[in-house]
Amino acid sequence: MSSLHDQLCFPARPYSPDFSREVFETLVNLPNPFELLLYQPHLRSIFTPQLELFLSRPVPQRFFGYAVLLAAYGTIDSLRSFRLRRKVILGFRKETSTKANQGKGVYDDWFVVLDPGTGNHPGTVKEFQGNTEPAYRYDANTSATKKHLGKDVDGDGVIDLGRIPEGTYRFKKSTSTKYGNILAPVSKIRLERDTNHDGRFDQNDTVSPKLSANEYATDTFFHKGGRGGFTGSAGCQTLEPETFELFWAVLGSQSEFHYVLIRS
């Protein structure tokens, strides 16, 4: 098999399902897994996470396409887990204002359960539409509801909504008296906060060093969202109730997962 450097760089090659499989099989067999970190920037420039492209392809092609995105955007641990035949969850975020849909949020993101299969069984994928951003209805600056959520991180005395940044995290199965089945983060997650309450998470949001501890949270779950176009998210990953049940069933008996969130 040619070296990964040869495959990727001499010359740059267009996306194709066969190329995805060739690259992924090389990546998972690297003698030194940490070598992957050297190639991730180039992988990201070649394999752009365009869901429209993936969803139109047969399952085997989608599987290797998603698997390369896992290698391009995930961590060494997430790829190692996948090599050990453990399912991985990918999230694809479409950047959307929290004020969209009259502040109710929008189910315009996607979750993919990537299953490497076992033994002679080929890998499979299952996609679910959902949401990765909070709804403005929970923002302290709105009167749409009395239920305001978040933490103050800029010191103005007003709590700020948060969301999980793009990156890799670990979640485990748990239960909630309010939501029933949930996935909960294994450790604290440093959230992005909308401190100027404009509905966007960007460089215009500031954090006071004295309140940096408030950037972190342990209650950013995967859970059933709302119906009627309301995502029911104040920073959690949510799916419509019926979709969540299908998502939960696909997770199977595995109890802990790597979650790789990518900007689509």
**Angstrom distance (rounded) from CA 200 to CA 183:** 25
The most distant pair of C-alpha atoms in the chain lies apart, rounded to whole Å, by: 61
Residues pairing with 89 in the sheet: 113, 259
* 114 and 89 Cβ atoms separated by less than 8 Å: yes
Beta bridge partner(s), residue 110: 92, 129
pLDDT of residue 1: 38
CB-based contact 24:67 (threshold 8 Å): yes
User: Residues 170, 174, 180, 184: is their CA dihedral positive or negative?
Assistant: negative
Q: Taking the C-alpha atoms of 160, 226, 186 and 248 in order, what is their torsion angle to the nearest 10 degrees?
A: -160
Beta carbons of 234 and 41 less than 8 angstroms apart: no
- The strand pairing partners of 176, in sequence order, are 180
Of the candidates 261, 264, 263, the residue with the CA atom closest to the CA atom of residue 220? 261
Coil, strand or helix at 210:
helix
Q: In what order do the strands lie in the sheet with 222-224?
A: 124-130, 109-115, 88-93, 256-263, 167-176, 180-185, 222-224, 237-239
Strand 109-115, strand 189-190: pairing: unpaired
Q: Which amino acid is at 109?
A: D
Domain ranges for the chain, please list them.
Answer: 1-84, 95-264
- With 0.75 as the threshold, say if the pTM is over it: yes
Q: What is the pLDDT of residue 200?
A: 97
Q: In this predicted structure, what is the pLDDT of residue 245?
A: 98
SS3 call for 16: coil
Mean pLDDT by 10 residues, the chain (264 residues): 48 54 75 78 76 75 86 91 94 96 95 87 89 95 80 94 97 96 98 96 94 95 94 97 98 98 91
How confident is the model at residue 2, as a pLDDT?
46
Tokens of 237: 């990953």
Task: Report pLDDT for 94.
Answer: 94
Q: Which amino acid is at 181?
A: N
